[in-house]
Chain A
Amino acid sequence: MEKIRVEHLDFYYGNYRALSDVSIAIEEREITALIGPSGCGKSTFLRCLNRMNDTIRGTRVNGKVLLDGQDIYHRNTKVVELRKRVGMVFQRPNPFPQSIFSNVAFGPRVLGLMNRRDLASIVEESLRGAALWDEVKDRLNEDALSLALGQQQRLCIARTIAVKPEVILMDEPCSALDPIATLQIEELMQSLKTKYTIVIVTHNMQQAARVSDFTGFFWMGKLVEADVTDSVFTRPQKKLTEDYITGRAG
């Protein structure tokens, strides 16, 4: 099943065209990796999928992004609703400077869930889902910033899934983490993919090859190649892709 379909997407920061004519289909409950050199537009593309670019002034979008067939850039789309369905995990672990519990409970609370018992069960479920529960179950009221970075990032993932999204966007979620924490996140992604559609931006080619089912290669605002991960890494169709993944370009 196709979860997201992007058709002829152009994106502008003022007059600067950061994405041109990007079309890609993203499968449900798969991990799609986006790779490419710095500044090629991966983050920009990712933010187009939950309209986080809306908050940046002077930006403009052409083309369509269909989520379950509905164009998210249609003027009837409620952006707040969209972001509940398409969650996001950022590059730097960024828990709120509050307790572990409050961090995970934030999403459900803004949705209007106030009952302490329901909240507690969502928090537990989300922390389990993010493979963090056993490490923090006895210290839910401690400051989230007292956690190690890798734990903080998993807390951010828990915070995201507490909203029960359908899609999770991850922008280089491991780039601030050590190898062990990175491995934990990668394992976590494998378990998350049974429930969620995941799109991950990564600079780490091995990571893309290890975790993803489908890979898109961006170059200077264009999607050069997008295919099943195995094919991209073993039989790339374009010379540019081959040069990049073998380290000759970028």
Chain B
Amino acid sequence: MSRYRMQRLGFALLTLISLVVVAPILAVIGIILVEGMGAISWEFITAMPFDGMKQGGIFPALVGTLLLTLGTAVVAIPIGVGGTIYLAEYARDTLVTRCIRLAIVNLAGIPSIVYGLFGLGMFVLFLRMGTSILAGALTLAIMTLPVIISTAEESLRSVPTEFRTVSASLGGTRWQGIRYIILPQALPGIITGIILGLLRAAGETAPILFTVAAFFLPRLPQSPFDPTMALPYHLYVISTQVPGMPIHIQHGTALVLLALVLSMNLFATIIRSYFRRRRQW
């Protein structure tokens, strides 16, 4: 076989493989879109569910997921980014920091149900937060931290050391170098990590199962100490726990969750390119 044909064959094979990868994703999105579109209406998004959730909307679940994601962000972003700056820029390579790194790597591999049980034991019971948005957000934050930290550390380390040296040679303190030179360059990567982590948090069911999620609670939470419905759990409930559930409601709920996640992703991409263009003081 000629080199030329070999190459053509290679290309064809690779194209096929990428199609195999993309096809299921497109199929999932397609099916949910087609089947779920019918359920989507203003009422579906803004109304309380009733009649055993077979009628009405998903408003409390939507709000609950937004609140949980927000709470997760408030807890995980400062701790994650602050901790990473310390680890990557200040901490020396000691036994302690090595243990911390090891812990972070391992934390990333823990199944989400374990986080859920930990949250139940730690926040709900031991710290007496009850099943509440607070306990749920804290649990999700812990699950999100390894994602944020490992991507943020990666992006800080990818900024050449030379810039730290130059900043120091101009009389800048370590922090000034980080704040004005290093962080702006690492920011797109850090933001990507944050969004990836939050996306995962928004879509997870297991960690919120015992810590915050309510089966059926047709009102909005009044304080961080209230439980709430949440989209992923609600989807699970209406798909498996409620007999006679109209299928278009299930697909509609999935569609809303998907749209939420995809729009967050889009938002991340926009922020990222914005910061890429504008790496200024």
Q: Are A106 and B168 within 8 A (Cβ)?
A: no
User: Residue A55 at the B interface, CB < 8 A?
Assistant: yes
- Most chain A beta-carbon contacts within 10 A, residue among B166, B167, B173: B166
In-complex Cβ contact of B170 among A81, A102, A159 (8 A): A159
Distance, CA A55 to CA B181, complexed state (A): 18
Q: Which of A97, A105, A110 contacts B185 (CB 8 A)?
A: A97
Minimum Cβ distance to chain B for residue A213 (Å) = 24
A169 and B29 alpha carbons, distance in the complex (Å): 60
Q: Given the complex of chains A and B, what is the CA–CA distance between A92 and B161 in angstroms?
A: 13
Query: Is A111 part of the binding interface, using a Cβ–Cβ cutoff of 8 Å?
Result: yes
Question: Chain B contacts of A129 at CB under 8 A?
Answer: none
Closest to A81 in B: B171
A102-B281, A105-B281, A109-B281 known; A96+B170 contact, CB < 8 A:
no
Distance A110 CA – B180 CA, assembled complex (angstroms): 9
Q: Is B51 in contact with chain A by the CB < 8 A criterion? A: no
Given that A80-B171, A97-B185, A163-B170 are known contacts, is A106 also in contact with B180, CB under 8 Å in the complex?
Answer: yes
**Counting CB contacts under 8 A, is B240 at the interface?**
no
Q: Is B121 an interface residue, CB under 8 A from the partner? A: no
Q: Confirm or deny: B38 has a beta carbon within 8 angstroms of a beta carbon on chain A.
A: no
What CA separation (Å) do A99 and B184 show in the bound complex? 13
- Residues on A with beta carbons closer than 8 Å to the beta carbon of B172: 80, 106-107, 110
Closest to A83 in B: B171
The A-B contact count (CB < 8 A) is 64
A164 to chain B, nearest CB (A): 10
Contact A110–B171 (Cβ < 8 Å)? yes
Query: With a CB–CB cut-off of 8 A, which chain B residues contact A88?
Result: 169
Within 8 A of A (CB), among B174-200: 176, 180-181, 184-185
Q: Which among B162, B170, B280 is the interface contact of A107 at CB below 8 angstroms?
A: B170
A80 to B164, CA, bound (A): 13
Q: Interface residues of A, CB < 8 Å — how many?
A: 26
For B164, B173, B180, B185, the residue with the greatest tally of chain A CB atoms inside 10 Å of its CB is: B180
| Interface majority SS (helix, strand, loop, mixed), chain B | helix
In-complex Cβ contact of B171 among A84, A96, A99 (8 A): A84
Q: Decide if A160 is an interface residue (CB 8 Å cutoff).
A: yes
Query: Given B163, B166, B169, B280, which contacts A99 in the complex, CB threshold below 8 Å?
Result: B280
The chain A residue sitting closest to B164, CB to CB, is A55
Q: How far is the CA of A159 from the CA of B184 in the complex (A)?
A: 19
B219 lies within 8 A of chain A by Cβ:
no
Q: B279 interface residue, CB < 8 Å from A?
A: yes
Among residues of A, the one whose C-beta sits closest to the C-beta of B181 is A96
Inter-chain contacts of A41 with B (CB < 8 A):
none
Distance, CA A94 to CA B185, complexed state (A): 14
Q: Of residues 65 to 115 in A, which have CB atoms within 8 Å of B's CB atoms?
A: 80-81, 83-84, 87-88, 90, 92, 94, 96-99, 102, 105-107, 109-111
Closest to A160 in B: B170
User: Pick the contact of B163 from A84, A96, A105, A107 — CB < 8 Å?
Assistant: A96
B184 to chain A, nearest CB (A): 8
* Interface residue? B241 (CB, 8 A): no
User: How far is B142's CA from A117's CA once the two chains are assembled, in angstroms?
Assistant: 46
Within 8 A of B (CB), among A124-172: 159-160, 163
Give the complex CA separation of A106 and B184 in angstroms: 14
Contact check: which of A50, A96, A105, A111 meets B166 at CB < 8 Å? A96
Closest 10 CB pairs of A and B: A84-B171, A88-B169, A110-B172, A107-B170, A110-B176, A83-B171, A102-B281, A94-B162, A80-B171, A96-B181
Interface pairs (14), CB distance under 8 Å: A52-B165, A52-B169, A90-B162, A90-B165, A96-B181, A98-B279, A102-B281, A109-B281, A110-B167, A110-B170, A110-B176, A110-B180, A159-B170, A163-B170
Given A84-B170, A110-B173, 4 more pairs with CB closer than 8 A: A80-B173, A84-B171, A98-B281, A106-B181
Q: B: which residues have CB within 8 A of A?
A: 162-173, 176, 180-181, 184-185, 279-281
